[in-house]
Chain A
Amino acid sequence: MTPTAPPNDSPIRTNPTVPHDTNDPLTAPEPTASGHRLGEPIVELRGLRKSFGDLEVLKGIDLTVHRGEHVVLFGPSGSGKSTVLRSINMLEEPTAGSLRFDGVEYGPGLPDEAVVKRGKAIELRRSVGMVFQQFNLFPHLTALENVALPLRSVRGLSRAEAEHRAAETLRSVGMLVRAAHYPRQLSGGQQQRVAIARALALDPKVMLFDEPTSALDPELVGDVLATMRELAESGMTMVIVTHELGFAKEIGHMNVFMEDGQVVETGGAELFSAPTSPRTQKFLSAVL
């Protein structure tokens, strides 16, 4: 792909005959997807709970994300999958349980375990990138400034350095030619790619995607998925909440089905073809 051209917006994204991962020896059909040649754990959730008032939305989540791994969270609305994602960068503060990132504890911790090293939310967020369903670009800034602002205020780069780095990152998502545009002059798909660049420019160790294509017109979904696919192929550690199960099947090393604040079942690509839990079977037959 040429550096300045936008990624080829192929609408093909859910072709089940693509041999991509099914023939991949790395994606072994083990429930934990541990057949993938994984790095050490980077995100570890253990017994993670979250309540909003009397409503408990996460009822003890255990989930480990390894370096280079692509984890997909899916399930019905209200199952808590977005809350899990938002807990990973502390946009939601866990009520109980352990949230470890790179060995450092950020959650309340487990009752019977001494905390070795505790970190602050702001430090955690500086290592974790996030992409939102509604893009959340800053509307008063150009695409370039959207990417450059965190580089200046978080990394302390000069304006020239920040803008140069922002331009390079925008190029990598095919948005350099639109860098002088304001968000409202961009399509949803373009806005989402700028939002991906904004997170990527900070060189995160993990990228979180919260339903990144749910707010897009169907014909714009392909562009964003293409950008995410490229990122996945580059070896980025990704945690993705999505309803794009075709895409999940293609890139997900570990797929997590959640319902009612709990993890029901996890697995590799085979989870979609041969789910074991009746609840997963019912959900998949309804959406696939």
Chain B
Amino acid sequence: MSLPLANYDWGLIWDYRSDLLNGLVTALEVAVVALVLSLVFGLLLALMRMRPAPFSWIASIYINVFRGIPALVTVIWVYFGLALVIEVSFSVFQAGVIALTLLYSAFFAEIFRSALEAIPKGQQEAGLAVGMRPIRIFFSITLPQATKIAIPNIGNMFIGMVKDTSVFTVIGLLEVVRVTQNVVATTFQPFVLYSAAAVLYVAVAFAIDFLFRLIEKTLEAPPNGVISRAIRGRRQRRIQALIDAEIASAKA
């Protein structure tokens, strides 16, 4: 008896490897650019939401609107709708980035808000008490601590962003699913090729998880793990050297 899986032409994956990987690279490019933009906008929205009205209202409305719209609807609306209404036409890449940014900045806003609110009030008071300006307190004290809290959730969202690039197949972005569809159209082997696509997405999810765990450990104080310590090692060695020098100069 032969294994049922052996009836399929798995060699196709190897034959079309460069198309599939190009699709993956496109998907990751869209997701990474959108990640950077939505982190910036998400943080701004979080800060707006924590301000008094009307800023908090505007941010709330934005967040609830874009958390509610599916990615498919958003990208169609950006690519076809905006082109009609304001007569700008975006490339499929741009449309994908804009759609993901609109959607995910709403999620990041909530992630940042909860992370910022988790920082004890005493941290800000300590900054104020030494005479620091609020903007310095934010960037040197609050944000670094909030970022560490937010990192696991940002990683989760980033996995979601990579997966959501698959809906951009409707505007013809040559990402993993679109490439898979094209290859299926010539080879008639959907099971094989969609399995390959699934494996690619899962592999990316593992890689992102690894990367964000590394970032999280690096942001711990003290940094946790071999790689994290190596990344932050120079700073630690500099401080230790300075202290050793101070102790030595006191003895001399």
Comparing B107-115, B133-141, B185-193, the segment that makes contact with chain A is: B133-141
Q: Does A8 lie at the interface of the complex (its beta carbon under 8 Å from any beta carbon of B)?
A: no
Residues of A within 8 A of B123 (CB): 136, 138
Which residue of chain A has the shortest Cβ distance to B223 in the bound complex?
A: A182
**Smallest CB gap from B141: residue in A:** A138
Q: Report yes or no: A150 in contact with B246, Cβ–Cβ below 8 A.
A: no
Contact with A along B226-252 (1 / 0, CB 8 A): 000000000010011011001100110
Bound complex: CA A220 to CA B47 (Å): 40
In the bound complex, do residue A176 and residue B125 qualify as a contact, i.e. CB atoms below 8 Å apart? no
Asked if A243 is an interface residue, CB under 8 A from chain B, the answer is: no
B3: interface (CB < 8 Å): no
User: Size class of B's contact patch?
Assistant: 20 to 34
Q: From residue B17, how far is it (CB to closest CB) to chain A in Å?
A: 43
Contact A91 B242 (CB under 8 A): no
B130–A125 touching, CB < 8 Å: yes
Cβ–Cβ contact A136 & B122, under 8 A: yes
Q: Which of B101-159 contact A (CB under 8 A)?
A: 120, 122-123, 125-133, 136, 140-141, 144-145, 148
Task: Check B221 against A202 for contact (C-beta < 8 Å).
Answer: no
B122 touches A144 (CB 8 A): no
Q: Does A177 contact B (CB under 8 A)?
A: yes
Query: How far, in whole Å, are A167 and B238 apart by their CA atoms in the complex?
Result: 13
Q: Which of A122, A141, A177, A195 contacts B131 (CB under 8 A)? A: A122
B129 touches A145 (CB 8 A): no
For B251, list chain A residues within 8 Å (CB). Answer: 4
Q: Confirm or deny: B70 has a beta carbon within 8 angstroms of a beta carbon on chain A.
A: no
Contacting residues, chain A, for B126 (C-beta < 8 A) = 130, 132, 136-138, 195, 198
Which one of B132, B219, B242 contacts A163 once the chains associate, using CB atoms below 8 Å?
Answer: B242
Query: Is A110 interfacial (CB 8 A cutoff)?
Result: no
Who on chain A is nearest to B133 by CB? A122
Given contacts A91-B129, A136-B123, contact A153 B243 (CB under 8 A): no
Main SS class of interface, B: helix
Q: How far is the CA of A164 from the CA of B123 in the complex (A)?
A: 24
Does A142 belong to the interface (CB within 8 Å)? yes
Known: A134-B122, A139-B145. A184 touches B130 (CB 8 A): no
B172 at the A interface (CB under 8 A): no
Find out whether the CB atom of A132 lies under 8 angstroms from the CB atom of B246: no
The yes or no answer to A262 lying at the interface (CB within 8 A) is no
Determine whether A126 belongs to the interface, using a CB cutoff of 8 Å to chain B. Answer: yes
Contacts of A164 in B (CB 8 A): 242, 246
Contact yes or no, B128 A125, CB < 8 A? yes
Known: A125-B129, A140-B148, A179-B239. A168 touches B246 (CB 8 A): yes
Q: Answer yes or no: B222 CB below 8 A from chain A CBs.
A: yes
- Mask: chain A, 139-183; 1 = CB below 8 Å from B; 0 = not: 111101100011001100000000110011001000011011011
| Pairwise interchain contact A91-B247, C-beta atoms closer than 8 A | no
Contact present for A125 and B131 (CB under 8 Å): yes
A-B contact pairs, 20 of them (CB 8 A): A91-B125, A130-B129, A134-B122, A136-B122, A136-B123, A136-B126, A140-B145, A140-B219, A144-B239, A149-B140, A153-B136, A153-B140, A164-B246, A176-B250, A184-B221, A185-B222, A198-B130, A199-B129, A202-B130, A202-B131
Question: Which residues does A use to contact B, with CB under 8 Å?
Answer: 3-4, 89, 91, 122-123, 125-126, 128-130, 132, 134, 136-142, 144-145, 149-150, 153-154, 163-164, 167-168, 171, 176-177, 179-180, 182-185, 195, 198-199, 202
